Amino acid sequence: MKLVIGKGSCGIAAGALKIESALKNLLADTACELGIAGCIGMCFLEPIVDIYEHGILLRRLVRVSESDCEAIAQAVKTEDLSLLDRLTVSEEDNSFLEKQTRIALRNCGLIDPENIDAYIAFDGYKALKKVLAKTAEEVIEEIKISGLAGRGGAGFPTWFKWNAARQSAGNEKYLICNADEGDPGAFMDRAVIESDPHALLEGMLIAAYAIGAKEAFVYVRAEYPLAIIRLQKAIRDAEEKGFLGENILGSSFSCHVRIKAGAGAFVCGEETALIESLEGKRGMPRLKPPFPAQKGYEDKPSNINNVETFANVAWIINHGGAAFAAMGTEHSKGTKVFALTGKIKRGGLVEIPMGLTLREVIYDIGGGIRDNKKFKAVQLGGPSGGCIPEELLDTVIDYKALSATGAIMGSGGMVVMDENTCMVNMARFFLDFTTKESCGKCVHCRIGTRRMFEILTRITNGEGQEGDIELLEDLCEGIRGGALCGLGQTAPNPVLTTIRYFRDEYVAHIKEKKCPADECVALRSFAVNKDKCIGCGLCAKKCPVHAITGERKQPHTIDPEKCIKCGVCFTVCPVKAVTKNGGEYNG
């Protein structure tokens, strides 16, 4: 029997290290083997411990605590797994995985990411061996047949970028993996590198062979320490096995891979800014053309794809481009990985074939809205994306359909919002992010995003003015048309989509000085109904800033100058005497 502990960042954060230590001690005198895996994608159930026998999964134990380890050890020693029924994943939660199609995530959570032999046992490096018997043109043609598009956001045909770099003049070429995942709520790239680093390396090696590159870089955020550690080990192990380095597998193809830890600038997700950073300069976008395929790293032809794109490549070579193209829609082939987060019951990593609807992902896979609240919107594409309302939940997930809504596919962030989310404040949140992350090179982005953020802040503070909505729309169009790179060009998307679909919330903030979602603290007000107040003093006792005064058994008063509008008084009043926003107590 073998126990496999999920040790992705999500599992470790939930307590996997303590569980691993406890199980090692409790099972030290048994023949039971302990192993690790990365993230299976069921982040909402971590920590996870899988029980295998002869390679067959017998049980998946979820939300395991350190106190559960004795019961697990007892079940293993007595071979009575029924003792673990209370920890076993439910059929409902297990449907989270059953409704997915996993290609980029095919090995995540199933293999030991620190053991190259585990990857090889799952057909690892088989595709590389196949490729070395083909011409570069044949490899590129297979990728063309697959219809694989860049999974970093733009959805540009992968084969076209590879071919452009291959056909560029010069013998010195470079391959770059963009793992600078900076979208709030996105963790797809991190999970792939932590859970299946060799899938990334094999995909990169195939791409390097196709374009004629002898040197490759993985530009990864320094905030991903576990991913970097596991990737470093994967590189060393691949070199020892002959999959990396000089004369790979006895061929004339040589390639070396290096890691560059980025400082965390969101703008470095843009390929030319990434190249500048890779060269040791400040990460700021370059004018295009020339494109990186002609003049990239060190002014040499370079190709850049993101982690998910490379993670698909080996599967495509092994199964054929046509098999990949058979999934998805006319305009978007294959599968897409999403980081499903926010007010969702089952959050985690989701890989689905293109063509499913947003409703299917959020409700069938994600289980719907947490606490059974009402769905309000879903943000796709991070700060560069847009907010899609309930009436568009049946939108098909592909590049063309999502673009028509005003959102974008992006790298795969999918943040779900419920009825208590203020859409004006949500737009402000993303503008705050893009304003801080703007490199400042072009005026439209540097100044325009700042002005939009200031207007949105004014509106959420109850200081909105007539004409603010129209001013925001004008600024959005100016920034989209004048910004140099994708950060500025897409920064207006959250504002434009929230105005487009939730204009009434903007109007309520500006004209009525009310936040329909009651999220904007500045627009809250609390008062005591003196006819109902019994003078129990509970509100005064619980108030954190002592803003409530009054004699015992006499009506109390809230000082609006001291009140921080936290709502504690509203919550604790036993006789419903505290009113909010001029209305009645609503429980």
Q: Each residue of 326-350: pLDDT tens digit?
A: 999 998 999 999 999 999 999 999 9
Q: Residue 391: how many CB atoms within 10 A of its CB?
A: 8
Give the tokens for residue 492.
Answer: 């207006």
> 476 vs 410, which has greater pLDDT?
476
Tell me, what DSSP letter sits at residue 166?
H
In the chain, what percentage of residues exceed pLDDT 70?
99
Residue 348's H or E segment, with its range, is: strand 348-353
Tell me: pLDDT of 310 over 80: yes
Tell me, what's the pLDDT at 587?
39
Tell me, what's the pLDDT at 429?
95
Give the tokens for residue 18.
Answer: 């303590």
Tell me: pLDDT of 432 over 90: yes
> Rounded to whole angstroms, how far apart are CA atoms 434 and 267?
9
Tell me, what's the pLDDT at 348?
96
Cβ–Cβ under 8 Å, residues 408 and 386: yes
> Where do we find the tokens 């054929």?
320
Cβ–Cβ under 8 Å, residues 64 and 49: yes
Closest to 13 measured CA to CA, from 50, 35, 39 = 39
Q: What three-state secondary structure class fits 8?
A: coil
Lowest mean pLDDT among 143-157, 164-178, 357-371, 462-476: 143-157
CA dihedral 127, 133, 136, 138 (to 10 degrees): -80
Q: What is the pLDDT of residues 257-294, one digit of tens each?
A: 999 999 889 999 899 999 999 999 999 999 899 999 99
What does the angle CA 195 – CA 311 – CA 244 come to, to the nearest 5 degrees?
A: 85
CA distances from 242 to 106, 129, 134, 543 (A): 24, 11, 19, 67
Bridge partners, 372 (sequence order): none
Does the bond joining 47 to the residue before it have cis omega, within 30 degrees of 0? yes
Tell me: pLDDT of 545 over 80: yes
Tell me, what's the pLDDT at 256?
98
> Rounded to whole angstroms, how far apart are CA atoms 29 and 505?
63
Q: Which amino acid is at 354?
A: M
Runs of H (alpha helix) within 461-549: 468-482, 486-490, 493-501, 503-507, 538-542
Q: What is the mean pLDDT of residues 553-562?
A: 94
Tell me: pLDDT of 586 over 90: no
Tell me, what's the pLDDT at 222?
93
Q: Which residues contact 261 (CB under 8 A, 6 or more apart)?
A: 220, 221, 222, 228
For residue 131, name the pLDDT band (cuts at 50, 70, 90).
very high
CA distances from 171 to 62, 128, 168, 213, 427 (A): 52, 22, 9, 8, 47
Strand 413-418 relative to strand 335-342, pairing:
parallel
Which stretches of 354-445 are assigned E, i.e. beta strand? 375-380, 386-389, 413-418
From first CA to last CA, the distance across the chain in angstroms is: 52
Bridge partners, 377 (sequence order): 389, 417
Tell me: pLDDT of 384 over 60: yes
Q: What is the pLDDT of residues 175-199, one digit of tens each?
A: 999 999 988 888 999 999 999 999 9
Tell me, what's the pLDDT at 585?
44
Average pLDDT over the chain, rounded to an integer: 95
Tell me, what's the pLDDT at 154?
74
> Rounded to whole angstroms, how far apart are CA atoms 105 and 41?
9
